[in-house]
Chain A
């Protein structure tokens, strides 16, 4: 199976919170990242968390990391229609020299 796994689809109503989940397998991961991709575009770095942290908050975004369960989540508060996109989590492993391993992406759809 995939080294980094995400659910493929998430649908929410505008104004609600969205939670996108990700699991990874490599305990040597040093950094974990969240990227956003809009149709036909490249990936935009949203936020990242260092592996010795449990939580990071940045405006509407909250990242939670459970190292024991190797589980990462991205919460988007007050989700807007402009948040509709594909969200990728990625891990940087300890010996990877900067290479990232990506999940397959979660398609977030926000309904008015």
Chain B
């Protein structure tokens, strides 16, 4: 089964903690992306990576960090510096078309 997996589906975090969201793809795509979705808004790009060991900031990178050590994996860390982290996080990968994972809902308690 080809696709993109994200884990966990739901994540709860206390204020001041860092958390890491997992994203894995077996589509052999070079490019991967992280988006944040808030109610009533479109998706906003956090980070993207065109190739292994390289990544660029998107429109709202502050308070987030990523790594791309393997082609299949693009984990996102939400740091304590992110002031309003409660949101739905979507990972995607692409060749010509961009495909999305099922998302992780992060809630800060």
- Which residues in A have some Cβ–Cβ distance to B below 8 Å? 2, 4, 8, 31, 33, 35, 40-45, 48, 88, 90, 97-100, 102-105
Q: In the complex, are the beta carbons of B102 and A42 less than 8 A apart?
A: yes
Give the one of B41, B42, B92, B97 with max A CB within 10 A: B42
- Which residues in B have some Cβ–Cβ distance to A below 8 Å? 4, 6, 31, 33, 40-43, 45, 48, 50, 58, 90, 92, 94, 96-103, 105
Which residues of chain A are within 8 angstroms of B6 by Cβ–Cβ distance?
42
Q: In the complex, are the beta carbons of A98 and B42 less than 8 A apart?
A: no
Q: Which residue on chain A has the smallest CB distance to residue B56?
A: A97
Which residue of B4, B41, B98 contacts A98 across the interface (Cβ within 8 Å)?
Answer: B98
Q: Which residue on chain A has the smallest CB distance to residue B105?
A: A40
Q: Which residue on chain A has the smallest CB distance to residue B33?
A: A99
Give the one of A44, A103, A105 with max B CB within 10 A: A105
Which residue of A48, A97, A105 contacts B42 across the interface (Cβ within 8 Å)?
Answer: A105
Q: In the complex, are the beta carbons of A45 and B98 less than 8 A apart?
A: yes
CB of A37, distance to nearest CB on chain B (Å): 9
CA distance A42 to B4 in the complex (A): 10
Which residues of chain B are within 8 angstroms of A100 by Cβ–Cβ distance?
43, 98
Which residues of chain A are within 8 angstroms of B100 by Cβ–Cβ distance?
35, 42-45
Q: In the complex, are the beta carbons of B103 and A99 less than 8 A apart?
A: no
CA distance A69 to B60 in the complex (A): 30
CA distance A28 to B40 in the complex (A): 27
CA distance A11 to B8 in the complex (A): 33
Q: Which residue on chain A has the smallest CB distance to residue B98?
A: A100
Q: In the complex, are the beta carbons of B42 and A102 less than 8 A apart?
A: yes
Q: Which residue on chain B has the smallest CB distance to residue A35?
A: B100
CA distance A100 to B92 in the complex (A): 11
